[in-house]
Amino acid sequence: MVAESESLDQLQSPEQVALLDAIDKLRCQGLGHYDISLPQLIVCGDQSSGKSSVLEGLTRLRFPTKDGLCTTFATELVLRKHVVVEISCSIIPGKTRSKAERDELSKFRRCYASREDFAFPTLLEEARECMAFGIKSTSGLFFEDVLQIRYSGPDLPSLTFVDLPGIIHAEIKGNKGVETVRRLVQSYMSDERSIILAVVSAKSDPQTQGILNYVKELDPKASRTLGIITKPDTLEVNSEGEDTFLKMARNEAVSLHLGWHVVKNRNFAGRDLTDAERDHSEKQFFSTGVWNSLPPGNVGIETLRSKLSRVLLQHIRKELPSLSATIQDAIEATESSLKTLGNPRDDQQQQRNYLMTKAQRFGTLTREALQGVYSDPFFKADSSSGIIPPTRLRTQILELNLAFALAMYSKGHQYHIIDRNTPTSVPESYDQSSMALQNYDDLPEPIIIEKAEYLEKEIYAEVRISRATALYSLEVNPGVIREVFRQQAKPWKAVAQRHLKDVYDVVLEYLNESLGSTMDQETLNALMQEHIEPEMEKRQQRLSQKLNELLVPYQKQEPAMYNPRMPQCFEPRKEFAFGGKKSGKMQPLANQMDNLTESISVFINNVAALAIENCLITDLSSLLSPELVLNMDEEKLAVIASESEDVRIERAALRQKLEDLKAGKRVLDLQARRSGKVTRNALRPLRAVSNIQTPDARPNTPTQETEVDHLTSSFTRINVTPPPPQFWGKGAPLTQGTPVTFTPPKSPKAAEGKPPPRWKMRARVDDGSDSDAEYGF
């Protein structure tokens, strides 16, 4: 069996210490600020559970053990074996701290030359006062900042762990810390990369100790918890309590994957004992009574040191791949965020370049949007939803135009004339279920009237009051047709105005989507306010003017139709001229009105083509073009393209984050290379160097002599790195990582049926001597 001291020494190899240092460096670089958890040991337990005594035994530092004394922040202890005793203390700011607060907390430094000089209560108070910077009231306050204590000495294990405030079950002296401590402890314990050191006091019933409930809740599989039982000497010999905790120490009462460990605390009577005397007293206690039945590796502070070192190293090695992947994902996400922000825009040229690239992208998207070419990912749509995305501008406009046509036919007339004998209907080519048609729901419906009643009340009345001054006229006054038509077409303007507004809103929404996909919100807001919206208002005015122009023929001019079929409808009708009131005699004029309604199709087409296309859609991409940006005045350019202070701060924070993440990734990559093992396989690629030219006449099955001669001519003198010691051959040992010079022999020949002779490497080592190592190829 390997001695415990030897076992601990094996855990202090340079590679293993470097591994622990790598994780500590990541923590100091603040990766926790970016929600990247790191492998760690956390010490947690109820108040007065003996946590401080355990820490004191592990570190040889005197921790305050007074009952009721409560630390208000986490403490990270970094132990390293070194010939020189050195203790340095600093504060790692919490992730919610402002930059000013982080800078102030980073100034905190306390150093001690020996363990005797280290005054933990004073250090805690000074750290608490520093953490209170920027906080108005600190009464009962718990901090998310971490006090880091780096301690090196000749008798220390290489170990890093975090001590958490003791779990409080009741408020003490008015301090409102129960909930705060609970949240702090739970945040550490819930981290899947944390190994939980659950400290349980033998002085209290296990069922009343909150730490076990926390373990059950936050580590339900008990896969990452190591239990530590303290104060076993307080139990009555052969008592029920002693039996309970003995079963727990045997991992029978509360089963944990990492098991249980028992330590004997320094009690009040032994407060003046030296560390050696304290350890001797502990060994004596565990060598007698029921505790002697436990495995030696599960009792005592010395074995706990080795166990924790082993557990931590195994845990870090296990978590390294996932940690490296997590950091790489964070790097890529941060780079993506920086890319979205773009390059800095501090001067005019940077601002113009920035806006120029956005204009080029906007122009490409807009041209494709109006052509209905939706291949770019920007136009991505979910066909199953049936909703047309605002990015597909041409489809949106087409949908609105069809809805406008339907609305014109259904609501574009003052009266809806019905004929019981011949029911009318809306053209079947229009989809009456279109969602766009709902935009016209608030417009008034046509007045429903029977054809006979309409002829009697409207048309005949107009004919009667429009007679000429002569005797009974043989012809109907043309003004009758004009007035009746204008009255019937009165809703056209309202329907058309609604349509133009809908199209205008759709175009505005597209502009926000397309421009917003290329720039930050701050720039988009400035661009819309300073340039896009004023230009769009001009187009809106042109739309309104064009609509008024299109309505003139139907509101102010004589109705004109150039349909070849129309003249036959205007033949003189004597019976109508003499004012017959019977519906049959008024039918010719009604026929004229029916034919005049064909002008609605002309109006619909004119609104779509002459108003929307010519006044709104034409050259939409010119709203932000490279030429416009190039000629934009400096003042307007600065207002639109300069960065806000928030963006500058965000970019600086992202750059710092990226720098920290990359530094952390380099640390992990370096550690991975250092811990990698070289085997014989690592040398095999040397036999298949890509620049070796194979002769065309090489036989299918070359002889050993041909292959060796060929390789020998290719390798004159090459530098290689020797493998680990387990692969060394005869001769003096080589230092791993030391470059050596390798000179192949001249044409080694193999006897027929036998393998070729082994090659030898001669290395020049640091002391100038030569050593031989044999390797087979």
| Closest to 46 measured CA to CA, from 193, 167, 179, 154 | 167
How far is residue 664's CA from residue 683's CA, in Å, rounded to a whole number? 30
Could you tell me if 299 and 416 lie in one domain?
Answer: no
Residue 733 has pLDDT above 80, yes or no: no
Pairing relationship of beta strands 740-742 and 146-153 according to DSSP bridges: unpaired
Residue 513 phi, psi (nearest 5): -70, -50
Dump pLDDT digits (tens) for 445-467.
888 888 777 777 777 776 666 66
- For 550, residues 6+ apart whose C-beta sits below 8 A from its C-beta are 496, 603, 606, 607, 610, 611
Q: Which residue has the higher pLDDT, 19 or 218?
A: 218
Angle ∠(194,200,202) on CA atoms, nearest 5? 165
Percent of the chain with pLDDT over 70: 71
Place of tokens 């019976």: 575
Structural domain includes residue 115: yes
Same domain for 596 and 685: no
**From 168-172, 260-264, 607-611, 683-687, the region with the lowest mean pLDDT:** 683-687
| The dihedral sign for the CA sequence 188, 190, 195, 200 | positive
The answer as to whether 533 is a domain residue is: yes
Q: Which residues 6+ apart lie within 8 Å of 497 measured at CB? A: 547
For the chain, the residue count is: 777
Please check the confidence at residue 198 and state whether its pLDDT lies above 50. yes
List, as one string, the DSSP characters of 234-253: GSPTT-HHHHHHHHHHTTSS
Give the mean model confidence (pLDDT) for residues 192-200. Answer: 93
Residue 413 lies in a domain: yes
Q: What is the residue-averaged pLDDT of the chain?
A: 77
Phi, psi of 415, rounded to the nearest 5 degrees = -120, 140
Here the tokens at position 533 are 């919206």
Across 199-208, 379-388, 411-420, 613-622, the highest mean pLDDT is recorded for: 613-622
Instruction: Bin 93: left if φ > 0, else alpha if -120 < ψ < 50, else beta.
Output: beta
Question: Do 633 and 737 lie in a common domain?
Answer: no
Strand partners of residue 203: none
Name beta bridge partners: 773: 761
Whether residue 688 is found in the same domain as residue 636: no
Gap between the Cα atoms of 343 and 371, Å rounded: 32
What is residue 584's predicted lDDT score, i.e. its pLDDT? 44
Which pLDDT score is estimated for 154? Answer: 84
Residue 358 lies in a domain: no
- Name the nearest CA neighbour of 662 among 188, 327, 206: 327
Last-in-domain residue among 616, 641, 666: 641
In angstroms, the CA 81 to CA 79 distance is 7
Q: Where are the alpha helices (DSSP H) in 556-598?
A: 574-577, 587-596
pLDDT band at 560 (very low <50, low <70, confident <90, very high): low
CB < 8 Å & 24+ apart, contacts of 480-485: 480/589, 481/559, 481/589, 481/592, 481/593, 481/596, 482/558, 482/559, 484/458, 484/459, 484/593, 485/554, 485/559, 485/593, 485/596
Q: At what angle do helices 478-488 and 533-555 cross, to 10 degrees?
A: 150
> Where does a domain end: 279, 302, 327?
327
For residues 772 and 722, is the Cβ–Cβ distance under 8 A?
Answer: no
Decide if pLDDT at 668 tops 90.
no
Q: What is the reported pLDDT for 577?
A: 40
In total, how many domains does the chain have? 3
Which pair of structure tokens corresponds to residue 739? 């470059």
Helices (H), 597-644: 599-606, 626-630, 634-641
Query: Residue 574: its pLDDT value, please?
Result: 39
Would the pLDDT of 295 be above 90?
yes
- Assess contact for 437 and 404: CB atoms under 8 A: no
Pick the range with the lowest mean pLDDT from 214-223, 269-278, 372-381. Answer: 269-278
Burial readout 665-697 (b: 16 or more C-beta within 10 A, e: otherwise): bebbeebeeeeeeeeeeebeeeeeeeeeeeeee
Mean pLDDT over residues 365-376, rounded?
Answer: 95
Answer yes or no: is 518 within a domain: yes
Composition of the chain by helix, strand, coil, percent to 5: 50, 10, 35
pLDDT above 90 covers a percentage of the chain that reads 34
Q: Tell me whether residue 445 is in a domain.
A: yes
CB 363 within 8 Å of CB 625: yes
Same domain, 132 and 196: yes
Instruction: Look at residues 753, 756, 764 and name the one whose alpha carbon lies nearest to residue 717.
Output: 764
- Alpha carbon distance 600, 28 (integer Å): 76
Query: In the structure, what pLDDT confidence band is assigned to residue 570 with cuts at 50, 70 and 90?
Result: very low
The answer to whether 417 and 451 have CB atoms below 8 angstroms apart is yes
Residue at which a domain ends, from 308, 327, 346: 327
Q: Is 447 helix (H, G, I), strand (E, B) or coil?
A: strand
Higher pLDDT, 476 or 308: 308
Q: Phi and psi of 491, rounded to 5°?
A: -75, -10
Query: For 768, left (φ over 0), alpha (ψ -120 to 50), or beta?
Result: left
Residues 519, 340: contact at Cβ < 8 Å?
no
Residues 545 and 684 occupy one common structural domain = no
Do 535 and 396 fall within a single domain?
Answer: yes
For the CA atoms of the chain, what is the radius of gyration? 45
- Residue with the bigger pLDDT between 549 and 386: it is 549
> Which residue's structure tokens are 């026929």?
591
Phi-psi region of 640 (alpha: psi -120 to 50; beta: other; left: phi over 0): alpha
Q: 273 and 266 in contact (C-beta within 8 Å)?
A: yes
Give whole-number Cα distances, 23 to 39, 106, 185, in Å: 7, 19, 21
Band of pLDDT at residue 220, cut at 50, 70 and 90: very high
Phi-psi region of 63 (alpha: psi -120 to 50; beta: other; left: phi over 0): beta
Residue 419 has what pLDDT? 76
pLDDT at 472: 53
Are 278 and 406 in the same domain? no
Distance CA 499, CA 199 (A): 74
Quick: pLDDT tens for 675-729: 654 333 333 333 333 333 333 444 444 444 444 344 344 444 444 445 554 444 4
What confidence score (pLDDT) does residue 160 get? Answer: 84
- Of 214 and 564, the structure prediction assigns the larger pLDDT to 214
Same domain, 122 and 271: yes
Identify the sign of the CA torsion 395, 397, 400, 405. Answer: negative
* Whole-angstrom distance, CA of residue 243 vs CA of residue 152: 39
Compute the distance between CA of residue 524 and CA of residue 518 in angstroms, rounded to an integer: 9
Q: Tell me, what CATH number does 211's domain have?
A: 3.40.50.300
Q: Does residue 435 surpass a pLDDT of 80?
A: no
- What's the pLDDT score for residue 585? 42
Q: What is the pLDDT of residues 92-102, one digit of tens each?
A: 888 788 888 88
Residue 569 pLDDT exceeds 70:
no
Dihedral angle, C-alpha 162, 166, 171, 173, nearest 10 °? -80
Instruction: Show the tokens assigned to 663.
Output: 């530094």
Q: Are residues 70 and 187 in the same domain?
A: yes
Question: 186 is in which domain, residue-wise?
Answer: 4-327
Contact 414, 492 (CB under 8 A): no
Is 378 inside a domain boundary? Answer: no
- 637 shares its domain with 693: no
Answer yes or no: is 369 within a domain. no
Report whether pLDDT(434) > 90: no
SS3 letters across 53-92: HHHHHHHCCCCCCCCCCCCCCEEEEEEEECCCCEEEEEEE
Same domain (yes/no): 286, 416: no
pLDDT in tens, 224-274: 999 999 999 999 999 999 999 999 999 999 999 999 999 998 776 767 788
In this prediction, residues 137-158 reach a mean pLDDT of 78
| Sequence-ordered list of residues with C-beta below 8 angstroms from that of 412, at least 6 positions apart, any chain | 489, 491, 492, 495, 600
Long-range contacts of 518-527 (CB under 8 A, 24+ apart): 518/357, 518/358, 518/361, 518/362, 519/342, 519/358, 520/340, 520/341, 520/342, 520/647, 522/643, 522/644, 522/646, 522/647, 523/640, 523/641, 523/643, 526/639, 526/640, 526/641, 527/624, 527/640
Q: How confident is the model at residue 20 (pLDDT cuts 50, 70, 90)?
A: confident
